[in-house]
Amino acid sequence: MLWPGIKKLGKELNLKRTDSEVVGFIKNCFVKMYDGRNMKIMELYVPEMDDDDKNYIIKKLESRKIKRYEWCPNGVKVIFTEIFAPYSMKKIKELLDELINYFSNKYPAQKPQCQHCGQHNETDIYCINDASLLICNDCHNKIKKTTHNENLEQQNIKGNYLWGFIGAILFAIPGILLTVLFFVFLESMAAVSAVIYIILGTIGYKKFKGKISPVGAVIIIIAGLIMVAAGITISYSVVILREISKELEIINFDMFMDAVKIISKAILEMPEMQKELLKNIILSYIVSGFYFVYQLNKMVKEWKNQKSVDKPREIV
């Protein structure tokens, strides 16, 4: 995700964007900026970088008390740590301007190298599955070809949605035990059992050879939603069974089965019990809803079967 600070600076500098980065050329340098957890990151790739250039960069960073940076091939990755407040975009821009002026004056006629093969001609920025890369024409053609072939292969991989769904349900069954424990001992259904259903469901889906695709991700989430309702219904029955067994002493299996039958009948026939059960299920969906939405979004992205090679887009 691209946050407003970097997006705004990117627009000001006439850069373009991917889903999570602003990227582009400023004079003859390749710049990439993005947000991290409690940090902003700037990557700068220049035509050449010798020891003098590195010392210049170190001096500039030290004068600004920036301690975190890494060297890349003909580039530097600067990490602006944020503790309480966002790092000042003005300060990032000042540093960027100084560095770019230095390198464009020192190497005016050169361009940064291809990040794949190292040659300096005909480089341009491409997003390969949304990660930006500076590559030459030849490398771009090669990557386009392999991506196309990989996409074709992916399409031909066999996998079955129905078996995947069955696997997701079967593997998630042990998770019900956890729901019961939470329900009985904490008297609430914690979102944690939703997490378990998705983890176990994903394992089951893959074991049963469910097809890895965005549709598959949706199927796992649906299986998870069904299991939440099943888990709550069973937990609810267990709670009632516990109440009953306090009054009646259940001494053998037949008595236990009778009690289960009575409870099932009561749930099916008594509106008050249905209402109570429904209330619990809805509450659990509300508690676990955020997790399901988050997980669905993540899985659809990860399981996207088509890779893409695009140019970065305009910042609007």
Of residues 110 and 305, the one with the C-beta less far from Zn ion: 110
Token pair, residue 234, equals 């069973």
C-alpha to C-alpha distance for 227 and 201, rounded to whole angstroms: 10
Nearer to Zn ion, 115 or 193 (CB): 115
Q: 60 or 144: whose CB is closer to Zn ion?
A: 144
Task: Tell me the residue type at 280.
Answer: N
Looking at the DSSP bridge assignments, the partners of residue 39 are 36, 81
Helix/strand/coil (H, E, C) string of 122-152?
CEEEEEECCEEEEEEHHHHHHHHHHHHHHHH
Q: State in angstroms the smallest separation of the CB of 53 from Zn ion.
A: 23
Whole-angstrom distance, CA of residue 67 vs CA of residue 70: 10
- Closest to Zn ion by CB, 108 vs 118, is 118
- Smallest gap, in angstroms, from Cβ of residue 70 to Zn ion? 22
Q: How far is the CB of 121 from Zn ion (least distance, A)?
A: 9
The least distance separating Zn ion from the CB of residue 32, rounded to whole angstroms, comes to 17
Q: How far is the CB of 48 from Zn ion (least distance, A)?
A: 17
Place of tokens 């002493």: 249
Three-class SS state of 21: strand
3-class state of residue 25 by DSSP: strand
User: In this complex, which beta carbon is closest to Zn ion, that of residue 106 or of residue 116?
Assistant: 116
Residue placing its CB nearer to Zn ion in the complex, 117 or 286? 117
Decide: helix, strand or coil at residue 233: helix
| Choice between 115 and 213, CB closer to Zn ion | 115
Structural contact between residues 194 and 166, judged by C-beta atoms closer than 8 angstroms: no
Query: In the bound complex, what is the minimum distance in angstroms from residue 71's beta carbon to Zn ion?
Result: 21
Q: Which residues bind Zn ion (CB under 5 A)?
A: 114, 116-117, 136, 139
Give the shortest CB-310-to-Zn ion separation in angstroms: 18
Q: Phi/psi of residue 188, each to 5°? A: -155, 155
Considering the complex, what minimum distance in angstroms separates the CB of residue 153 from Zn ion?
Answer: 24
Other CB atoms within a 10 A radius of the CB of residue 80 amount to: 22
How is residue 162 written in tokens? 């129905």
Q: Please report, as a single letter, which amino acid is at residue 254.
A: D
DSSP states of 256-306 as a string? HHHHHHHHHHHHHH-HHHHHHHHHHHHHHHHHHHHHHHHHHHHHHHHT---
Nearer to Zn ion, 134 or 217 (CB): 134
